[in-house]
Structure formats: C-alpha cells, structure tokens
Amino acid sequence: MSEKFVKVPGLVEEETMGVLREQIVLQAKDGDLIVECGVFLGSTVCYVGQALKKLGVKAKIYAIDNWLCANISDESKQFVNRSESFLEGFTLNVAKCGLTDMVTTLQMDSLTAVDYFENNSISFLFLDASHNYEDVKDELKAWLPKVKNGGIICGHDFSDPSVNRAVVEVLGNVNESSSKCAYWIENQCLKN
Ligand SMILES: C[S@@+](CC[C@H](N)C(=O)[O-])C[C@H]1O[C@@H](n2cnc3c(N)ncnc32)[C@H](O)[C@@H]1O
C-alpha cells in the first residue's frame, strides 16, 4: 500500500468519519468482519480500510451496493469519470487505496446480501443505503441477527426523519453524533 492516505470523494462528512474511527477502526481486531451497505464510490470503505491497515489490523470488509445510485444527486454522480460505471469507480478507488485484498464487493440489494452472512458473525455494521423509512426498518431487522452480541451497528443520516424514525423504532435509544450525522449502538443494548 502507498504511504499516502488516499481520500475518496463521497457523501459522508468528517463528523461521521470520526464516528467510524471511534466505533470501528479503534475497536477492530484481527479477523473481525466489517459490513458496509450503501458504499457508492467507497469513501467510508476506503477510510476505514486504510486506517485499519495503518494500525496493522487484519480485518475483512464487505462492501454492499446495488450501484443503482437512485438516491444520489446529479452533482455527486460527477465524482466518477463519464466512461466508468459507479461500480468501476468504486473498484478503482479500492485499488488506489491498496485495499483490494481486504475488501469483498457484493453488487446486490442490501436485503439480498443478508443471506450471505451467518448469524452472529459481523463485528461492525455500517448502514448508508436506502433512506426510505420502510427500507431502513426492513434492513435493520434483517441485519440485526447477523451482528455479534457486543458488535456495533452504526449508520448515516440520523437527521433524516425517515431514517431517524426507522432507527428509533427498531433500535430504541441510540448514540448520535453532535449534528445527528451518524448514530451507533452496541448490539447487546437492543430492545427485544
Ligand atoms: C447515500 S449513498 C452512500 C454514500 C456512501 N456511504 C459514501 O461514503 O459516499 C447510498 C448508496 O446506497 C445504494 N443503495 C440504495 N439502496 C440500496 C439497497 N436497497 N441495497 C443496496 N444498495 C443500495 C446506492 O446505490 C448508493 O450508492
């Protein structure tokens, strides 16, 4: 991997990167399984992956996206070269960051990808796919059994009313970053 930390363009602000650092990077151990749903061009995957490599942690990251990018603005779609698909853009970014060996890519809907994982197998889950109330609720319910007891569930856009409502209904009281960009909770705190 190159010495330089590569910054990949994306839709996640510094505050959420800070949450990912505190809740995932600094807590991860060798062998941990990290799942990100809704990765777009890979800004958070590349941030977490490079930070882990720098610390010498040998974790595995699964990056899930259908790459339909239905909820991405035209402005943000310009982050990728015209000749590339979004998936190609993501794959190139992962390679540029020296993370091809660490990242497994699953191009599919989040709810389909759930079936690829054993119950109680994921140490860290980061959700930033659909922001539709029903979708977020379905996703959280489907992914929860896959997260280890004591594992961390985090997500983006807690300030979005649809995301907020779904998260509170499924997870109850969660921790939130100061401007509600991100939320997180330990799996053992969940409501039954
Ligand atoms: C808000 S963007 C993610 C931004 C990204 N986390 C970043 O760091 O820039 C949402 C992404 O979720 C994907 N997406 C939306 N609904 C999805 C679903 N049901 N399953 C899988 N991916 C989905 C979109 O294709 C898009 O790339």
Residue with CA at minimum distance from ligand 1 atom 23 = 129
Q: What's the pLDDT at 190?
A: 56
Name the maximum alpha-carbon separation found in the chain.
48
Eight-state DSSP code of residue 22:
I
Q: What is the CATH number of domain 14-189?
A: 3.40.50.150
Question: Residue 147's CB: how many other CB atoms inside 10 A?
Answer: 24
Residue with CA at minimum distance from ligand 1 atom 5 = 39
Q: Is the CB of 38 within 6 Å of ligand 1?
A: yes
pLDDT tens readout for residues 32-86: 999 999 999 999 999 999 999 999 999 999 999 999 988 888 888 778 777 789 9
Mutation pick for ligand 1 pocket among 71, 93, 141, 157 (CB with most ligand atoms within 8 Å): 71
Q: Is the CB of 71 within 6 Å of ligand 1?
A: yes
Mean predicted lDDT score pLDDT of the chain = 93
The amino acid occupying position 44 is T
How far is it, in rounded angstroms, from Cα 23 to Cα 151? 10
Q: Which residue has the higher pLDDT, 131 or 77?
A: 131
Q: What's the pLDDT at 1?
A: 46
Q: What's the pLDDT at 36?
A: 98
User: Which residue is associated with the tokens 């020296």?
Assistant: 98
User: 161 CB contacts (<8 Å, ≥6 apart)?
Assistant: none
How far is it, in rounded angstroms, from Cα 116 to Cα 9? 28
* Atom of ligand 1 minimally distant from the CA of 11: 9
The model's pTM? 0.95
User: Which residue is associated with the tokens 């594992």?
Assistant: 151
